[in-house]
Amino acid sequence: MAQLSFLPHIQSLIRTAFLHLHHTAHLQPYLTAQAAETFTILNVLTEGFAGKSLVFGEEETGQVKLFSLPFFRLTALTLCMSLATELQRASTLFSYSLSDGNRELALLWDADGYFTMYIAGHNQTFHLPGPDALMRRVCLTWESATGASRFWMDGKRSLGKTFGQGASVQPGGLFFLGKEQGAGLEDSEHPLSFIGEIADVNLWEHVLLPQQMRKVSQGCSGLTGNILDWSTVIYEKEGAVKVDITDDCP
């Protein structure tokens, strides 16, 4: 069978079309069609982080918005990312919130060595080795039916905990790295902005199998998320954040 070389282009067009709608939906009453199109094009920076990482500077102004493919409410998920930081303080690593500011999904870390997983108004903490100057691979899983949750770090799993049974993550929100939606420098309701390096962020709408988790939590597995795929995700960045070439996975 001939290789369908045009499929990546079609997928790219679908992602871009979704991004266009996401950007301009709330502005349509005020924009002409041409102005809306111009506004959208100016806001699309680039697509994909394959072989790259994000470095968040000490100015605490950096944030990155990720545009996922459309999804229905999530009743299970797997989130993985690599990160490094030398600042021992509370930070927002990953967040997903609705337009009203409700936190639907988030991963936070504090200086006491606790990672906190937030799911649809519920949360659970895990005492794990904190990030340091070495890039660490951190993954988490959760499923609504049983409330079962677990962390994986550098190929090793944590004990399991239960929370958020029956809950679900609602669609229509925004994904952020390094800062929560609406969080300012003086915002006491949100942890401080992340300062350090983040890479290889992937999100799935299901819990990966144990053998898959062992691979993906060690890094360079080749597995990519079906909601957020680090290698192809469309993003916007602003403030003190730069894209760095890593080639961690030859």
Which pair of structure tokens corresponds to residue 196? 């350090």
The residue type of 29 is P
The residue assigned the tokens 């905990």 is 161
Asked if the model's pLDDT at residue 20 lies above 90, the reply is no
Q: Tell me the residue range of the domain where 191 lies.
A: 46-245
pLDDT in tens, 97-127: 998 888 899 999 987 889 999 999 999 999 9
Per-residue pLDDT band at 46 (split at 50, 70, 90): low
Of all residues in the chain, the percent with pLDDT exceeding 90 is 54
Average pLDDT over residues 234-245: 90
- Of residues 3 and 80, more confidence is placed in 80
Same domain, 4 and 78: no
Residue 250 belongs to a domain: no
Report whether 163 contacts 149 (CB < 8 A).
Answer: yes
| Angstrom distance (rounded) from CA 153 to CA 155 | 5
The domain total for the chain is 2
Asked if the model's pLDDT at residue 90 lies above 50, the reply is yes
Same domain, 119 and 208: yes
The residue assigned the tokens 């904190």 is 130
Reported as half-sphere exposure (CB side, CA atoms, 13 A), residue 167 has a value of 20
- Of residues 237 and 19, more confidence is placed in 237
Same domain, 180 and 79: yes
| Angstrom distance (rounded) from CA 82 to CA 22 | 27
- Of residues 72 and 31, more confidence is placed in 72
Residue 83 belongs to a domain: yes
